[in-house]
Structure 1
Amino acid sequence: MLKLVYRIRYYFERNGFYVSSRLADRLGMRVKSVRLFFIYLSFATFGIGFAFYLTLAFWLRLKDLVYTKRTSVFDL
């Protein structure tokens, strides 16, 4: 079982990290900087999505509090 885990890890290290190392070579940067950029970018996109979700939830809640459905014209 442990050997399988190491084989999977080696596969991802060989193929997955090659993308960031090739991109860093192409841009003339350090590989560590490219990997950190992708990590920070993933946290930022998750945070923006979560903030957008909370904004929509607050807006819908506020809309429900302000707007009440009137059954007739004489309810004004």
Structure 2
Amino acid sequence: MNFFYKILYFFQKRGFEVCGRIADRLGIRARVVRTSFIYVTFVTLGFGFALYLFVAFWLKIKDLVYTKRTSVFDL
């Protein structure tokens, strides 16, 4: 059971930050976005979780492609 809590803590601490980034973009609290994902997951029988993973993957790829450089010499 201790192993389960370590995994749970890892994902809570170093998650994909999907909810936080969506909340910043929309100007609302991250808690509202998280609960929306939870409700969508229960209502659609797992589609919300798949949507969450898709958005996490999309944000990761976007961060890798569009990196903010301060000057020309950072290449």
**Bigger share in helix:** 1
Using the size of structure 1 for normalisation, the TM-score is 0.46
Considering Cα pairs closer than 8 Å and 6+ residues apart, tell me whether 1 or 2 has the greater RCO. 2
Using the size of structure 2 for normalisation, the TM-score is 0.46
Specify the structure having the higher radius of gyration (Cα).
1
